[in-house]
Amino acid sequence: MNGKGKAFWAGWVLSGLTVPLFAFSAIMKLRGGAELEQGFAHLGLPISLRVPLGILELVCLVVYLVPRTAVLGGILMAGYLGGAICTHLRVGDPVIMPALLGIVLWLGLWLRDKRLRALLPLT
């Protein structure tokens, strides 16, 4: 296993579940379209935030994927998801998906990073 344990690989599998969702979301924001405009209107967000949010999402994702900066990426992604949760709560939408995404994102990072497991042991 190249010196990497089961926790490391399980962490990458969990991270691999979240990455396509963030990438898809960012790409859709960058592409635009009628459905996106309707979604932004429903959430009370100006469409002018479409591209900046898409770029922000991609930057957070890249920082999360680089092992050396993954913890910072996890913090940035958690902040992004916190904003999403707040935005959805404000309009009365369910927040289970962004909340679960954040949990899986951090669990994946915790499993794949020994330093993080040492800092935050589950005992």
Three-state secondary structure of 20-31: HHHHHHHHHHHH
Vertex 92 angle, CA 88 and 94, to 5° = 65
- Among 31, 38, 35, 75, which Cα is nearest to 53's? 31
Query: Domain range for residue 48?
Result: 6-113
Are 50 and 29 spatial neighbours (Cβ–Cβ below 8 Å)?
A: yes
> Is residue 55 in a domain?
yes
> Is residue 118 in a domain?
no
Q: What is the mean pLDDT of residues 23-43?
A: 96
> Is residue 46 in a domain?
yes
- What does the pLDDT look like over 89-121, one tens digit per residue? 999 999 999 999 999 999 999 999 888 888 988
> Count of domains in the chain?
1
> Is residue 119 in a domain?
no
Residue 122 pLDDT level (bands cut at 50, 70, 90): confident
> Is residue 121 in a domain?
no
Residue 3 pLDDT level (bands cut at 50, 70, 90): low
> Is residue 85 in a domain?
yes
What is the rounded CA–CA span in Å between residue 77 and residue 68? 16
> Is residue 27 in a domain?
yes
> Is residue 122 in a domain?
no
